[in-house]
Amino acid sequence: MKNWLIAGLMFFGAVSGSAQSKNLAEGGCATVTTPQEMQMIKDYLSSNFAAQKTTNVVDSVPLSIHIVSKTDGSGRYFLDHLLSVLCDLNTRYAPIGFYFYVRWPIHYINNSSFYDHNYTAGYQMMNQNNVANTANIYFVNDPNGACGYYSPAQGADAIAISKGCAGPNSTTVTHELGHYFGLPHTFFGWENGNIPSNPEKVTRGAGANCSSAGDGFCDTDADYLSARWNCPYTGNKLDQMGVPYHPDSSLYMGYSDDACMSRFSLQQKGAMQFKLTNSRGYLLQSHATGAAVLDTLRMIYPTDTLFLNRRLAVWHKVPGAEYYFVSITSGNSLTPRQDTIVADTTLIIDAPMNYNVKYRITVAPLSSVNVCRATGTKIDFYNTGSTTSVNDLGATAGAIEVFPNPAHQSATIKVMQVPSGNYRISVLNLSGQEVYTQTLQHAGGETSMSIPTAQLANGLYLLRFVGDASNLTQKLIIQH
């Protein structure tokens, strides 16, 4: 929750209204807890739900991730940061019995009006792009001047997060999902410089008003700080009874620094479980809740050299992997020259790179329940202007030729010295999407086949010939 100061507040009804915009230097959480959500907390506290629900039961919650860029595609959130945030999320929500998994694919939106948006544009963004029966999170540049907000609006019901407030170790997404599951700020009533008519007293026990003031929870200390603060608290505030003030810096729903936060209170946990069960039951779908261990990924190419005529990355398929995170960096820079998440095991490298300079490629297998990249593989290589005559990037027997190349109506594939077996021939576009596929039961040796290209758009593609005994990749250009 980088630079969270006074929050810009906004109540989302059926449609969004207007509020004073704040820039990111001011930051803040622009979520307003509605009276209906406060009533839910009272309903929870008056029920015996806390005694019925235990964290031994793990609930799986699907997340739909939306990454918003400018209209020209620039400025998007780093995928490396996204995976770090999602990995931390499950650690932080484990004590509640929630396990978040990714509903693939990640959704990319190129729209400058959504990238830096006010509440009206934010409502439009969510209304047009939300994926049903999932928790939707949008990573943008400026969500109405705040670090983030949750919109409970009918037709929206989603979270917007500033990419500048969602780096590694940030608690912004953790905080906003707390709002999504019904939690108010610990300083509820003090937002935007307001002074509540019934401030929460510091003292608990006889005479306490914690169940009717503040956030409604008696196991969260009274909190009046609606601006970012360092821990431990060193102020000299007193409550209305003259009792010294001692806010709890460990709670995610407050405004202490990220490094201070580490937990939700017991009643906060119960309230979120209550919200999931009673208001968001549609999220409870049959799905694995444990992070399946994925095997270590083995790179095929590049290993030490990237050739001019083979600007590809190729790796072996990892059992259980649904997608792969790929990042290319140079030197000690943390800024990726190219980063993406693909479903295939091949990627065209189109990042601008200088010759005879060392770069690093990182490839990590991902599944819906495991985005922590524990089995990622890092390879350092030199980009060279020289070419290679080797077609088989897997260093297995065989070679592949394509002609004509560029192709027009069709292309002929000639595969030489390939062992017998079952093979899959596929054509992939630059986004890693498979646009054509066929299978082949090969008797061994040399074979030729024709694939149609008339219906494919002009551009650069990857042609792959993959089986148990060989893994061949070649570029294919289509030009009508």
Residues 132, 172: one domain?
A: yes
pLDDT at 11 over 50: no
Among candidate residues 348, 383, 418, the one where a domain is terminated: 383
Report if pTM > 0.85.
no
Question: What does the mean pLDDT of the chain come to?
Answer: 86
pLDDT at 162 over 90: yes
Residues 311, 183: one domain?
A: no
* pLDDT band (50, 70, 90) for residue 136: very high
In a domain, 114, yes or no: yes
Question: What is the predicted pLDDT for the residue at 280?
Answer: 95
Among candidate residues 332, 355, 383, the one where a domain is terminated: 383
Residues 158, 224: one domain?
A: yes
In a domain, 388, yes or no: no
Q: Which domain holds residue 306?
A: 299-383
In a domain, 391, yes or no: no
pLDDT in tens, 244-289: 999 999 999 999 999 999 999 999 999 999 999 999 999 998 776 6
* pLDDT band (50, 70, 90) for residue 9: very low
Among candidate residues 383, 412, 431, the one where a domain is terminated: 383
Residues 322, 431: one domain?
A: no
Residues 227, 254: one domain?
A: yes
**Mean pLDDT, residues 64-72 taken together:** 97
pLDDT in tens, 439-454: 888 877 778 889 999 9
Residues 167, 83: one domain?
A: yes
In a domain, 390, yes or no: no
Residues 191, 229: one domain?
A: yes
pLDDT at 391 over 60: no
CATH code at 56?
Answer: 3.40.390.10
Residues 93, 182: one domain?
A: yes
Residues 312, 335: one domain?
A: yes
Write out the chain in H/E/C secondary structure. Answer: CCCCCCCCCCCCCCCCCCCCCCCCCCCCECCCCCHHHHHHHHHHHHCCHHHHCCCCCCEEEEEEEEEEECCCCCCCCCHHHHHHHHHHHHHHHHHHCEEEEECCCCEEEECHHHHEECHHHHHHHHHHHCCCCCEEEEEECEECCCCEEEECCCCCCEEEEEHHHCCCCCCHHHHHHHHHCCCCCCCCCCHHHCCCCCCCCCCCCCCCCCCCCCCCCCCCCCCCCCCCECCCCCCCCECCCCCECCCCCCECCCCECHHHCCECCHHHHHHHHHHHHHCCHHHCCCCCCCCCCCCCCCEEECCCEECCCCCEEEECCCCCCCEEEEEEEECCCCCCCEEEEECCCEEECCCCCCCCEEEEEEEEEEECCECCCCCCEEEEEEECCCCCCCCCCCCCCCEEEEECCCECCEEEEEEEEECCEEEEEEEECCCCCEEEEEEEEECCEEEEEEEECCCCCCEEEEEEEEECCCEEEEEEEECC
CATH code at 451?
Answer: 2.60.40.3080
Residues 85, 55: one domain?
A: yes
Residues 343, 443: one domain?
A: no
Split into its structural domains, the chain has a count of: 3
In a domain, 115, yes or no: yes
In a domain, 392, yes or no: no
In a domain, 170, yes or no: yes
In a domain, 314, yes or no: yes
Residues 462, 419: one domain?
A: yes
